[in-house]
Structure 1
Amino acid sequence: MTTASNPLLVGKSALITGASAGIGAAAARVFCREGAAITLVARRESQLADITSQLRAEGHQAQYVVADVTRSEEVARAVSAAVAAYGRLDVAFNNAGVGAEPKPLHLLDEEVYDTVMDTNVRGVWNCMRHEIRAMLPRGGTIVNNSSTAGLVATPVTAAYIASKHAVLGLTKAAATEYAAQGIRVNALAPGSTRSEMVDTWLRDNPDMEQHLLQSALVPRIAEPDEIAEAAAWLCSDRASFVVGTTLSVDGGWTTR
């Protein structure tokens, strides 16, 4: 088992949504390395089972729950599983999200809009409600994964931009309501990151990658681990005075 020499999350019970691939799967590895006992949540059981098996084989504490974040009762079940297994919930990384093919707003199907908003906004809403209830007795930390599309209009579909702006609004509202009760709520705004969603988008829009590279101070696409590292720090006690903020992890993209 490989662990950090001075781990960020030692002794913490952490829940990670969207954990079957991409940033969520990377967060599972990083959080375990930093000492957390984790509960992984996603809809795809085979991927969750594989990741959990690998982590356990390395000596980490890990379990998974198959759940859809758009369904409140399934999120409640996942949070309950974390508390049942580890005695409490200290940390939550609400990472689950979905994108959509870039289309002009007037051509966007209502079904696409509904899917994006339900997953990216209602999903965070559902997660925070149940996580906060579990954290109220002793405090905790929540990090919601937004996007640079939550800060500026990026070249993606309007529904995605609206949903990621809404995540930042929910983050600020929850931070304001619960900071006095010992619950810190913050958000990440990742730039373009290697993932199934981004890789598919770039494959279908081959000219877009060069545009993205030209727009960042660090001209490359991020690796999922780089976003997960930032999430781990925000979730840790070392970020104890960081509340209600949005941390951009975008290679300087939003400075342009």
Structure 2
Amino acid sequence: MSDYIVRATAANTQIRAFAASTTELVEEARKRHQTSPVATAALGRLLTAGVMMGSMMKNDSDVLTLQIQCGGEIGGMTVTADSHGDVKGYVNNPDVMLPPKNGKLDVGGALGPGFLNVIKDMGLKEPYSGQTMLQTGEIAEDLTYYFATSEQVPSSVGLGVLMEKDNTVRCAGGFIVQVMPFVDDEVLDKLEANIQKIQSVTAMLDNGHTPEEMLNQVLEGLDVEITDTLPAKFNCNCSKDRIEKAIISIGKKEIQAMIDDDKPIEVKCHFCNTAYKFEVEELKKLLKKATR
């Protein structure tokens, strides 16, 4: 089954919720970036969070960026998503290897201390930007903390990526549940009790739970109403034309230096690892377009 996001409300709109299956898009990212298992788990969690948070935005042109700057061996991660279920991302060090911790991939150890930046470009003069310190480096807890402190929205975030023995992605997905300011105490108590007793996201996914079934467990007894679903996919909007513009923007001096080397150059997109090759003759054409 292809990846998708479910949006829902519960307890008569006192709760809004999102859940996603992201196995295919996380595997696509793993293949493109050749990530190690711990890097796949870290990037997969951030991609899953990004695609759900992107679906919270209202306008077609809105763009969300999640950026982790950290001191661990992974060196940082960046994920960008839109409101249509498209997401892309990369890790700074895709080869990071760490021993397991308590039998699990040590994502927190790979990240170490650092910051989570959330940037929302909604077409206003300035993008909205929020920053919080990483709490555990496990990403779900870090986002829960971000929602509570930066957006003042009490939330519960669950994210999971499970690997096969051959280091491909077995399953990936997650949920975000948020309570509205007017939530009743008994609804909050029920939600907290549910979250205490649910299985981990990876266990639910491994048991074949769909996003709808995950939400039904998290929101059991709270009258879940699915409002809509949308496809989710790893999708990068890079193109040779965009790369050309980037080369032109670096200026005549730099382009001339490339031409003087008398060799073709290769430019790779950070987000999807697609390589674009430019022959010397092409560089000469770009030099004529450069204005500085």
TM-score of the two chains, using structure 2 as the length reference: 0.29
Structure number having the greater strand percentage: 2
Higher RCO, Cα 8 Å, sep 6+: 2
Based on CA coordinates, which of the two structures has the bigger radius of gyration?
A: 2
Structure number having the greater helix percentage: 1
